[in-house]
Amino acid sequence: MGIALIVAAVVFAATRGPEAGSSVAERRRAGGETQPATKESSTTTSTTRARRGSGEPVVFAFGGDVHFEGSLRAQLDSNPGGMFSPIAGELGTADVAMVNLETAITEGGSPEPKAYNFRVPASALNALRGGGIDVVTMANNHGVDYGPIGLADTLAAKATGGLPIVGIGNNATEAYAPWQTTVRGQRISVIGASDVIDEQFLSTWAATDTHGGIASAKGADQARLIAAVQAARHDADTLVVYLHWGVESTTCPSSRQAELAQALVAAGADIVVGSHAHRVQGGGRLGGAFVDYGLGNFVFYNESGESGRSGVLTVTATGRDIDTYQWKPARIVGGIPHLLTPPASDEASAAWDAQRTCTGLTP
């Protein structure tokens, strides 16, 4: 990232001011599950919010790519409520835990003509909820792997599955819409989008005003994503964007990732994270915001070498201020991430810090 770009980001962050917007319904956590938040009455009076919102910190936990292929399908069939147990404790302690669900939710449809097609029954949503996950994004290059029927099934599961899903919808309005919730008076908004869609599927997979699909960040669709972020800014104390982006098997971000991160932060995002490379990439501060370019695999059938390097990213934010962040390294074993312990965790944390040198981000 060029020096001018970094300076521009710092100047922008220093000038971001208070935002206004109406509040959303209080987030309810019971038995480890999170209920979707709903808008309060439209008669609620808008009030000017300070940069730190209610003044209370909120802890976010982010994991990378999740599917249920290979041996993971057998685990899902036999123990959906407990298959995430090795990592559920870490996710459950966060106020908002999020992953990328990289699969269609269907048992029907026809596979699209591509190298890899992933699908999962709706029982996967029960497993995710049982693992302490509060919201998932499905804006990725596998969300519509099983065509129009698979998409219809996915949207039906979204409507009835009891787990908030962003980044996919019956039209663009739904696909780009944020999930909104309130934690200790802090208004949280989460948007999902994908910068990775095979060119031959772009016209059929990307959600538009007239047909369903995923929220795209590619080409002209970037303007729609930026507009969605700008609109969500008015109703949020902390605004998160989870992206599917980057180049597979790389450990440093691409120039496109850096460009998109800058644009999203300029539009009002406070936390920008993402996955797709199937590799852990670096994270750090971009002006007043936080960016992580690659969360790696999380629940995944390929656990060899770098593919099995995983972890949980925790970010504590008070309104628009990023208080602290930490990469908690893990290793995928039997498809599920297991947190490392010293000295392996110390070495892995140091390696993650070292990856920041190719990101243009600051500690």
Q: What percent of the chain has pLDDT over 90?
A: 87
25 has pLDDT over 60: no
Residue 305 has which token pair? Answer: 């070498």
317 has pLDDT over 60: yes
Residue 44: its H or E element: none
* Cα angle 130, 135, 139; round to 5: 125
Residues in the chain, overall count: 363
93-149 pLDDT tens trace: 999 999 999 999 999 999 999 999 999 999 999 999 999 999 999 999 999 999 999
Query: Would you tell me the crossing angle of helices 255-267 and 3-15 to the nearest 10 degrees?
Result: 20
Residue 251 and residue 261: Cα distance in Å, rounded? 17
Residue 67 has which token pair? Answer: 């599917």
Q: What percent of the chain has pLDDT over 70?
A: 87
326-344 in b/e form (b: 16+ CB < 10 A) is: ebbbbbbeebbbebbeeee
28 has pLDDT over 70: no
User: pLDDT band at 34, cuts 50/70/90?
Assistant: very low
CB 65 within 8 A of CB 322: no
Quick check: bond before 343 cis, omega within 30? yes
Provide the pLDDT for residue 129: 96
Task: Please choose, from the candidates 81, 162, 69, 157, the residue with its C-alpha nearest in 3D space to the C-alpha of residue 120.
Answer: 69
* Cα angle 309, 313, 314; round to 5: 155
Give the dihedral of Cα atoms 331, 282, 328, 89; nearest 10 deg: -80
Q: Which domains does the chain have, with CATH numbers?
A: 52-358 (3.60.21.10)
Residue 75 and residue 83: Cα distance in Å, rounded? 6
User: Where is pLDDT greater, at 32 or 197?
Assistant: 197
User: pLDDT band at 47, cuts 50/70/90?
Assistant: low
17 has pLDDT over 50: no
Residue 312 and residue 301: Cα distance in Å, rounded? 18
Residue 295 and residue 241: Cα distance in Å, rounded? 13
Provide the pLDDT for residue 57: 98
73-84 pLDDT tens trace: 999 999 999 999
Provide the pLDDT for residue 44: 31
- Is the whole-model pTM more than 0.85? yes
- Average pLDDT over the chain, rounded to an integer: 89
Least confident span in 15-29, 65-79, 235-249, 314-328 = 15-29
